[in-house]
Structure 1
Amino acid sequence: MSTENKLKDVTRRDFLQKTTAAAIGSFFIVPRHVLGKGFRAPSDKMNLAAVGIGSKGFSDITNAWNKGAENVVALCDVDWAYGKKCFDKFPDAKKYKDFRVMLDEMGKDIDGLIVSTPDHTHAVIASAAISRGKHVYVQKPMTHSINEARYLTEAARKHKVVSQMGNQGASNPAQQQMVEWFKKGVIGTVKEVDVWTNRPIWPQGIPVPTQKSEVPSTLDWDLYVGPADWVDYSPAYHPFKWHGWWNFGTGALGDMGCHLIDSPFRVLGLGYPTEVECSVGAVFLKDWTPEYIPEGCPPSSRVQIKFPATKINKSEMTMTWHDGGLRPFHPDLIPADDALGEPDSSNGAMLIGDKGVMMCATYGKDPKVYLKSGEKLTMPKGAFETKYTSLPEFGHHVAWTDACKAGFDSKEHKALTSTFDYSGPLTETVIMGNLAIRSYNLRKASADGKNFTFPGRKKLLWDGKSMKVTNFDEANQYVTRKYRGDWKLS
């Protein structure tokens, strides 16, 4: 065995014991390529890179950097005007527009990558990093399609990298309070869950832009489009408004589902659903005739997803998603003057059990229980708090960097609240709702071509293990994303 391999096989404690005598009176840093993955000297910081550094990406890399606890060595954005604030904050970081060039040039110097781009590029960027053995933090939803989520989940496990999805509410101690209440049987068995949001808060359900627009000089539009189908640049897509277009975004459900569905998913120990059904709001640009815009997400939708019984919840369960400002009505146990979820009832999740109702706002905040006895439970102050929860976004980013430094098999990694082993199935559930929404207006013509039906408006039966709709094959076109040109998953 070579000297390098012997070094990789010893533990950190052994290494420190054997080198203490030689190190007394001097300061040393052992190169990361000698120590190997998951093994680093205590003086060594993590080298971070980020792709997509405007808006949410700025806070993601800033939180992970943790006031200098880690190094930021490379930053990448297809629009350098949009990324200027982040470039200015980290002037020593090398700047890139193409993440592939960044990984080729700096791969040996990068330990972990943060991906905060529009949804359609999450998978290609994350897979490129994972295949190189880089730890990854990926914004929600983890991917744009179901097969991408399954691919990244398996890839992270195969390459033994530390992963975390950016649904920071997963690290909110209030989630653990909800888990504890349910395990104690406080609300009994749950057969019904409601989840709702005020999204979209961007233009959605509108016609495809047709007016030609000049591409900003700071933006590489070809890189922005990336693996998606080619469309000409429009300010209707970038920045932010991409959420409402299937080519780039995942709509209201993709934007908020991983935040709001997280609570019932975690509390009830859910996995793959068995069926999905939806209805969507219609857009009328002229009298009587609804406008179907397949390129864009609808203005509103309701999605019903069914799950089998779990080890934790001993009953089949139906989850209903509401968006576009729609929300469920008050159950009898919740007083008429109490808001649902958020103080303005705009976002929330509600688990309806046979003994009571458990409710929370976005990120699992402000959990409450309303019991049939008339008692109301709230979270005790300071319950389930950790060393991370006082940090920005509940320490979701710092817990990830600590786990990266500790290694794949560490207790720190096992303690993460949204590794891909958890967030992969959660993302698949969210995106399966979009599969139903996109299938809703698919038409089937009769044999003579004179009449047609809408099979996608029926209930879709789902085989989670095989990632397949079993009763309407046309819907399966949305399970896997086809990539433009030579774009691929690594």
Structure 2
Amino acid sequence: MTEEQETSNTSPSRRNFIKSGALAAAGFMILPRHVLGGKGFIAPSDMLNVAGIGAGGKGQSDIANFAKSGKANIAFLCDVDDRRAANSVKAFPKAKFYKDWREMLDKEGKSIDAVSVSTPDHTHFVATMAAMQMGKHVYVQKPLTHDIWEARELTAAAKKYKVVTQMGNQGASNDGTRQLAEWYNAGLIGDVHTVYAWTNRPVWPQGIQWPATKAEIPKELDWNLWLGTAPFKDYVNKLVPFNWRGWWDYGTGALGDMGCHLVEAPFRVLGLQYVKDVQASVGTVYVDEFKRGRFPESCPPSSHITLTFPKTGKTKGDITVHWMDGGIQPERPEELGPDEKFGDDGNGTLFIGTKGKMMASTYSESPLLLPTSRTKEVNVKKTLARVKDQANGHYKQWVEACLAGYGKMEVSSPFETAGPLTEALLMANLAVRGHDIERKGPEGVKLLWDNNAMKVTNFDEVNQFVKREYRKY
């Protein structure tokens, strides 16, 4: 791609932007916020100019949904892979296309109101923080970030830069999560002390060794830009576009993929915030026919993680949340009939209270009291506002909030709530990764978390994963 010359002497040079765009894992000396004229900027028209970082796959559907709102103009597209971007480029022929998001923000900043980030997990933070520091509203796919430190920083940045934020866990806009909250607030299941969330994912390879043979990089893919801040490795087949989820350098495993959908309801219903402690057991694979083991570069094939949250204003004591993936499920509740669906079979969330139980499937859909016959017998007044079109309205809700300006409209998953939710899930992954670190003492130790210091106090080796080192690229 031929680079355009700088448009004015007052614009930051592309060299400086790229240097700061990597964020150096610290200082955030990104672009000055001259481009939008101050905090809480409101777009000058009733159309929101959106730039999409990640135009294929989920990014493609996100962009399309913003456009369906009738209030968003897809003005710019960015993707490191021309193949993945092709459908979006065809759907929005007037949108200017870039491969490097840093170049796009540098050259087009004055024309962008909001940015959508739908890339592999390891790129979320750097692109999102750069956009926020320019005063851009942001929509970011789940999980919000790859690391705990990154989630904490974006949560603070949303308030600092006064931009409208939304995470792409669209189930947060469903009626189901609000119905569960209304049942709980009405006292129908008493005080919840235990929650189970489970998924049949991963549906991509995990618990495997990094391929020994490198492959030819497709001509449409800029491999260096795809790697971004991750350590350099040679390109291997089938990593792109989906199987990156199972590798710690890029993804966050089944927990990162589905946790934001399945644990969002407990956070909303119970007012959960930060984890107190966490422990995990993980599945292993056969290294050879005689030896079982794990490959530390890859997420495990299955896990059962137990997180403890301190009591909240909605509970009488601590809350235990169990996460299960790889097809592991909790014991079926005795109140559930032998042939009734448990969640949606492969995924679900179960709340256990002192007076009863309730459950839901993925995205908090199909909320049910147990026994299920009780659901139709109970009539609780609606006290929480619903989002029009539910999950499909998650996108329009963000677009309209951006047009209204910071603080003028509510959104379902602002970083204020999405940040702590993501932190909790990534805290669970610390316990998983702890199994691959040699240490004295028992395997699967309970990790004790100091939330203010943002560190594990009894197993220092896992703290290296709270904030990773960034590669300069």
Return the TM-score normalized by structure 1.
0.86
- Paired with 2:114 and 2:103, the residues of 1 have a C-alpha distance of 16
Matched, 1:439 2:434: yes
Secondary structure of the corresponding residue to residue 375 of structure 1: helix
- Paired with 1:380 and 1:110, the residues of 2 have a C-alpha distance of 46
Shift of 1:308: 1.2
Structure 1 pair 325–371 and aligned structure 2 pair: CA distance change class (3 A): closer
Deviates more, 1:183-192 or 1:332-341: 332-341
- Paired with 2:220 and 2:378, the residues of 1 have a C-alpha distance of 48
Q: Out of 422, 427, 438, which is 1:427 matched to?
A: 422
Summarize deviations over 1:329-358 as a string: whole Å, max 9, x none.
11222222221110xx10000000111111
Contact 1:38-1:406 at 8 Å conserved across structures: no
Summarize deviations over 1:269-327 as a string: whole Å, max 9, x none.
00101000000001113233223211000010010001111101112111111100111
Shift of 1:394: 3.2
Deviates more, 1:76-85 or 1:465-474: 465-474
Q: Out of 47, 59, 74, which is 2:76 matched to?
A: 74
Give 2:181's aligned residue: 179
- Paired with 1:311 and 1:382, the residues of 2 have a C-alpha distance of 21
CA RMSD of aligned residues (A): 2.2
Q: What is the letter of the counterpart of residue 123 of structure 1?
A: F
Contact 1:165-1:420 at 8 Å conserved across structures: yes
Give 1:409's aligned residue: 407
Give 2:329's aligned residue: 327
Shift of 1:35: 9.7
Return the TM-score normalized by structure 2.
0.89
- Paired with 2:458 and 2:270, the residues of 1 have a C-alpha distance of 27
Q: Out of 107, 112, 118, which is 2:109 matched to?
A: 107
Give 2:350's aligned residue: 350
Secondary structure of the corresponding residue to residue 265 of structure 2: helix
- Paired with 2:292 and 2:245, the residues of 1 have a C-alpha distance of 22
Give 1:390's aligned residue: 389
Shift of 1:390: 2.1
Shift of 1:37: 4.4
Q: Out of 41, 45, 60, which is 1:38 matched to?
A: 41
- Paired with 1:120 and 1:382, the residues of 2 have a C-alpha distance of 43
Contact 2:182-2:380 at 8 Å conserved across structures: no
- Paired with 1:347 and 1:461, the residues of 2 have a C-alpha distance of 28
Give 2:286's aligned residue: 284
Percent of aligned positions that are identical: 47
Contact 1:333-1:356 at 8 Å conserved across structures: no
Matched, 1:273 2:268: no
Q: Which has the larger Rg?
A: 1
Deviates more, 1:473-482 or 1:287-296: 287-296
How many equivalent residue pairs? 439
Secondary structure of the corresponding residue to residue 128 of structure 1: helix
Summarize deviations over 1:382-426 as a string: whole Å, max 9, x none.
9789785326x331111011111111121x1xx211100000000
Q: What is the letter of the counterpart of residue 153 of structure 2?
A: Y
Q: What is the letter of the counterpart of residue 472 of structure 2?
A: G
Summarize deviations over 1:163-185 as a string: whole Å, max 9, x none.
00000000001111111110111
Q: Out of 128, 131, 140, which is 2:130 matched to?
A: 128
Give 1:97's aligned residue: 99
Give 1:203's aligned residue: 205
Q: Out of 38, 43, 59, which is 2:61 matched to?
A: 59
Shift of 1:80: 0.8
Deviates more, 1:130-139 or 1:312-321: 312-321
Structure 1 pair 320–275 and aligned structure 2 pair: CA distance change class (3 A): same
Structure 1 pair 202–386 and aligned structure 2 pair: CA distance change class (3 A): same
Summarize deviations over 1:108-161 as a string: whole Å, max 9, x none.
100000000000000000001001000000000000000000011111110101
1 or 2 for the larger relative contact order (CA 8 Å, sep ≥6)? 2
- Paired with 1:167 and 1:65, the residues of 2 have a C-alpha distance of 18
Summarize deviations over 1:172-230 as a string: whole Å, max 9, x none.
01111111110111100111111000100011111111112000000000000000011
Q: What is the letter of the counterpart of residue 406 of structure 1?
A: A
- Paired with 2:455 and 2:346, the residues of 1 have a C-alpha distance of 33
Give 2:233's aligned residue: 231
Matched, 1:160 2:162: yes
